[in-house]
């Protein structure tokens, strides 16, 4: 697998590909690739002629007390996995390639970033939007693929792309889960054995919400209350947020409907995990293993 390290080289390669008529897809990642990322690479492979996988642990989206230093990094392993899944090229720039010493610009999506993760991770989505805008400008792909597991991130990026007239299609890939339902995440490796067992409750709670809605319950507060009880019954969990919101605006809803997003962030021990389901969102989940 070819690994491109500089912005200038990536721009050059992408321009050559476009000139040759190749449809280019970008799968932005921070590395530590797992089956969730690889499913996005496979989706890109289906939709494009050339698949670029970017691997960049973006310091701008980590808070001061977050896990930037210990975030897992293994470029050789990631490049091999990306190639196996159908990636053609890895773009893995050094920090200085992306943020020069005089770097001074932030891309800020206003309303959509105020709630859910945005309320607890100040500046996080500014970091995400800024780096994604830069990656899109460097690679200029026809499409870019993001995971539904980070539903707020996908919504924020779709807003940014629409608002800034960026000429790229954003594709969402379904959440990939372990056999017990835990959503794949690079942070799952931090969980102890007990925490790993408890972590499956996020998905159980979301599925409870989904089944209560399917049997006719519309009262969002009641459903969220039942989900909360289930999560709180576990020894190692602490809910940061658990909400029923409109999937497009991310505003609270009092009545559940098809298209409502049930979303949660839970600390399991010291590890913060997020997950979500869209009510009646057919085909949004795949199970691995
Ligand atoms: O989802 C991620 O891994 C990151 O937020 C992204 C989109 C690669 C930006 O750094």
- Closest Cα partner for 180 from 61, 51, 289? 289
State the pLDDT at residue 133. Answer: 98
Task: Give all strands of the β-sheet with 24-29 in edge-to-edge order.
Answer: 2-4, 89-91, 50-55, 24-29, 143-147, 169-173
Backbone angles phi, psi at 168, to 5 degrees: -150, 145
pLDDT digit string (tens) for 120-133? 999 999 999 999 99
pLDDT digit string (tens) for 211-256? 999 999 999 999 999 999 999 999 999 999 999 999 999 999 999 9
Burial 150-176 (b: 16+ CB within 10 A, else e): bbbbbbbbbbbbeeeebebebbbbbbb
Q: Is the CB of 138 under 6 A from ligand 1?
A: no
State the pLDDT at residue 65. Answer: 87
Q: pLDDT category, 283, cuts 50, 70, 90?
A: very low
- Record the pTM: 0.95
Q: Is the CB of 30 under 6 A from ligand 1?
A: yes
How many angstroms separate the alpha carbon of residue 10 from the centre of ligand 1? 18
Q: Is the CB of 208 under 6 A from ligand 1?
A: no
pLDDT digit string (tens) for 178-207? 999 999 999 999 999 999 999 999 999 999
State the pLDDT at residue 281. Answer: 64
Share of the chain above pLDDT 70, in %: 97
**What domains sit in the chain, N to C, each tagged with a CATH number?**
2-176 (3.40.50.620), 186-283 (3.30.1300.10)
State the pLDDT at residue 67. Answer: 83
How many angstroms separate the alpha carbon of residue 21 from the centre of ligand 1? 27
Work out the average pLDDT over 66-70. 87
Rounded-to-integer distance, Cα 283 and Cα 271, Å:
28
State the pLDDT at residue 9. Answer: 98
Rounded-to-integer distance, Cα 201 and Cα 268, Å:
10
Q: pLDDT category, 28, cuts 50, 70, 90?
A: very high
Q: Which two tokens stand for residue 73?
A: 């990094």
Ligand 1 atom with minimal separation from the 147 CA: 1
The yes-or-no answer on residue 213 being catalytic is no
Question: Which of these is catalytic: 37, 124, 203, 213?
Answer: 37
Name the residue with tokens 């980070």: 150
Name the residue at shortest CA distance from atom 1 of ligand 1.
29
């Amino acid at each position: 697998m070819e690994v491109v390290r500089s912005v200038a080289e990536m721009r050059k390669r992408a321009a050559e590909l476009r000139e040759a008529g190749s449809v280019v897809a970008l799968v932005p990642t921070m590395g530590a690739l797992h089956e969730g990322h690889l499913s996005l690479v496979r989706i890109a492979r289906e939709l494009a002629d050339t698949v670029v996988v970017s691997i960049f642990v973006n310091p701008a989206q980590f808070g001061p007390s977050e896990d930037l230093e210990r975030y897992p990094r293994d470029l050789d392993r990631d490049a091999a996995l990306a190639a196996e899944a159908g990636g053609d090229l890895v773009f893995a720039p050094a920090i200085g390639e992306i943020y020069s010493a005089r770097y001074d610009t932030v891309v800020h999506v206003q309303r959509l970033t105020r709630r859910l993760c945005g309320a607890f991770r100040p500046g996080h989505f500014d970091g995400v939007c800024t780096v994604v805008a830069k990656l899109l400008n460097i690679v200029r792909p026809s499409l870019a693929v993001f995971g539904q597991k980070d539903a707020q991130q996908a919504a924020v990026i779709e807003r940014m792309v629409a608002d800034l007239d960026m000429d790229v299609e954003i594709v969402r890939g379904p959440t990939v889960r372990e056999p017990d339902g835990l959503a794949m995440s690079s942070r799952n490796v931090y969980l102890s054995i007990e925490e790993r067992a408890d972590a499956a409750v996020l998905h159980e709670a979301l599925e409870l919400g989904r089944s209560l809605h399917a049997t006719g319950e519309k009262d969002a507060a009641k459903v969220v209350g039942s989900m909360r009880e289930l999560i709180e019954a576990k020894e190692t969990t602490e809910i940061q947020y658990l909400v029923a919101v409109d999937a497009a605006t991310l505003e609270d809803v009092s009545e559940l409907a098809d298209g409502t997003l049930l979303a949660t962030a839970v600390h399991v021990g010291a590890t913060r995990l997020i997950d979500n389901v869209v009510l009646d969102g057919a085909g949004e989940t795949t199970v691995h293993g």
